[in-house]
Structure 1
Amino acid sequence: MTVTTPDGAVDLFTTLDELDVPRGYRAEILREAEITVSPPPIGKHQRTVMELLWQFKPHLPAGYDTEVHLEVRMHHIARSTIPDLFVAPEAALDTKEYFVSPDEVILAAEVVSRSNADNDRVAKLGIYAAAAIPVYLLVDPLARSSTLYSSPENGHYTEQTTLPFGKPVPVPEPFGFELDTSRFRTY
């Protein structure tokens, strides 16, 4: 179903809300005038997401928590993502909506999927930077590396650290710890 506005433009957010997506699938707005539907991730992908969750939990700032199912809806750039994991204030996560504002998100993390690697490596990198999300962590089981992007300015991250699996990734404040990548799965 496609919903249009009175001037004939497609209202992607309303269309997205009205989609009947099969259980486990993710529907996101990653590109202009397009809704991307991705299949459920494989087990190795989810094990890495859980490893991220377990490692981040002890280092969360007071009043913040992790999330793995809610959408981050960026009306100002007409994009929407469902990160594999993100960190936001508990109050923002305690919502009646299916989404939160990017202004609440202090870290977004994606684990690259074999079937749509460019979504995480390229599209979401640009989206998170444009939304000024302070930290974007990209875990890439295909390249066997992790990249931490930070300090967004003018729609781009100005700092980037890429390290191979097995090397710790320094995660900046307010987290302030070294992410152990030795337990991440490869495809």
Structure 2
Amino acid sequence: MSIGPSTFARLRRIAEHLPELPGVGKVEIAHGGIVLTLPPVRRHELAVARIARQLHLQLPKTHPGFLARAGADLQDAGLGRLRRPDLMVFAEAAPESEPPAVLPHEVLLVVEIVSRSNPENDYHDKVADYAAMGIPHYLLVDPRDGTGIVHSQPNYRSRTPFAFGDRIIVGPWTIDTGDLLTYG
């Protein structure tokens, strides 16, 4: 469901103030409303850090001037979406411009670590959103069962499943999933 620009702008203004509430993790806009998530658990954050570390080692060779960063907003006003992926690869200069959120055409990769509370969001809604935004690669990591999927454009028709312990290819990068942990 897409929403009009004025509705998106109003929701965006509201969303900017919600992280101040105790117990709120991510604040996103999707399906015409604001979506709040719980703060992530330790193993979730550990997976983000370990994947980011591997990407940081490879980015100077594959994409100088790009970084892997957690906690940045991804905005597509045309789709009426504000997402906050667990990790994104984008040009270091991207956040210097307006709007403050990263725009889809600036992003090479999004990474989501599946949460226990709402896995459907990562497996369905975000697959559709990131594909519609034209983001080349979407790495979905599922610590619930130690698996994942590498999605690649066009429209994420290319889907490569993996299990923790595999070395996977995500675009020009190689990720060793051997040090990722299940929720247990």
| TM-score between both structures, scaled by the size of structure 1 | 0.85
More helix by share: 2
Aligned to 2:147: 145
User: Counterparts of 1:106-125 in structure 2 under 5 Å?
Assistant: 106-125=108-127
SS, match of residue 29 in structure 1: strand
Instruction: Show the counterpart of 1:157.
Output: 156
Residues 2-151 of structure 1 correspond to what in structure 2 (within 5 A)?
A: 11-22=10-21, 25-30=25-30, 32-60=31-59, 61-95=63-97, 98-151=100-153
154, 177, 181: which one aligns with 2:177: 181
What percent of counterpart residues are identical? 32
Q: Which runs of no fewer than 5 residues in structure 1 stay unpaired?
A: none
Q: What displacement does 1:123 show?
A: 1.0
Q: How many residues align?
A: 175
CA distance in 2, matches of 1:111, 1:20: 20
Structure 1 residues 13-32: Cα deviation after superposition (integer angstroms, max 9, x where no partner): 232234354366210013x2
RMSD: 2.1
Q: Give 1:58 deviation, angstroms.
A: 1.1
Q: Secondary structure of 2:150's partner?
A: strand
User: 1:72 touches 1:100 (CA, 8 Å); kept in 2?
Assistant: yes
Secondary structure at 1:53 match in 2: helix
TM-score of the superposed pair, with normalisation by structure 2 = 0.87
* Equivalent AA in structure 2 for residue 166 of structure 1: G
Structure 2 residues without counterparts, runs of 5 or longer: none
